[in-house]
Amino acid sequence: SQTIHQWPATLVQPVGSPLSLECTVEGTSNPNLYWYRQAAGRGLQLLFYSVGIGQISSEVPQNLSASRPQDRQFILSSKKLLLSDSGFYLCAWRGDRGDTEAFFGQGTRLTVV
């Protein structure tokens, strides 16, 4: 069966520090991968998606970047965190068919102080 791992679960970082969040998927190949951010009391905003190794599409301009160095690995990064980067970050994967559901990781709570 497919599983998705996301870590760390919680992170407190000072303003200006770097960030690296990692997500890995098991049990499937060539998944579509996604990073979402959920701000307090708000919905899910799609930040990045990837349809293959090295292929990254950005949905919103921001202080963050994403990379996909391996088929089932998706990384969210920042060189210098801002206070506004605080939030709940969710990684997800989905197949290519439109009727397939997205599977989500457990999320990372990032607090920038």
Partner 1 sequence: AQSVTQPDIHITVSEGASLELRCNYSYGATPYLFWYVQSPGQGLQLLLKYFSGDTLVQGIKGFEAEFKRSQSSFNLRKPSVHWSDAAEYFCAVGVEAAGNKLTFGGGTRVLVKP
Helix, strand, or coil (residue 49): strand
Does residue 107 interact with partner 1 by CB under 8 A?
A: yes
Helix, strand, or coil (residue 85): helix
Does residue 39 interact with partner 1 by CB under 8 A?
A: no
Does residue 97 interact with partner 1 by CB under 8 A?
A: yes
Residue from 41, 54, 61, 69 touching partner 1 (CB under 8 A): that is 41
Rounded to whole angstroms, the Cα distance separating 8 from 59 reads: 23
Residues 62, 44, 33, 67, Cα dihedral to 10°: 20
Size of the site for partner 1 (CB under 8 A): 29
Rounded to whole angstroms, the Cα distance separating 113 from 93 reads: 30
How near is the Cβ of 77 to partner 1 at its closest, in Å?
A: 20
Does residue 109 interact with partner 1 by CB under 8 A?
A: yes
Q: Which residue has the tokens 């994403």?
A: 66
Name the residues that contact partner 1, by CB under 8 A: 6, 32, 34, 36, 41-44, 46, 49, 51, 57, 88, 90, 92, 94-102, 104-107, 109
